[in-house]
């Protein structure tokens, strides 16, 4: 996406505002793929595959633990 915007001369940040994943295995790969494609912010809409609504405090898939370690410094 970033390449397309660059070719068109558009200089705007890219945000993924509703990331919904189908499997636990997609969490890290999708996150890393989006960052590598130029995405600056990602907002996940669920922290439990198949679950909707806010998670219980402190409960989320283990794949989300330390996911921000993949962010560029």
Quick: pLDDT tens for 16-60.
888 777 777 888 888 888 888 888 888 877 777 666 666 677 777
Range of the domain at 62: 2-70
What is the widest separation between alpha-carbon atoms in the chain? 43
- Report whether 25 contacts 49 (CB < 8 A): no
| Total domains in the fold of the chain | 1
Cα–Cα distance measured from residue 57 to residue 70, given in angstroms and rounded to the nearest whole number: 23
pLDDT at 37: 86
pLDDT at 61: 75
> pLDDT grade, residue 64 (50/70/90)?
confident
């Amino acid at each position: 996406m970033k390449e397309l915007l660059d070719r068109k001369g558009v200089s705007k940040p890219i945000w993924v505002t509703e990331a919904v994943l189908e499997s636990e295995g997609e969490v890290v790969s999708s996150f890393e793929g989006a960052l590598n494609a130029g995405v600056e912010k990602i907002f996940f809409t669920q922290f439990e595959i198949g679950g909707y609504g806010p998670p219980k405090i402190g409960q989320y898939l283990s794949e989300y633990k330390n996911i921000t370690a993949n962010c560029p410094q």
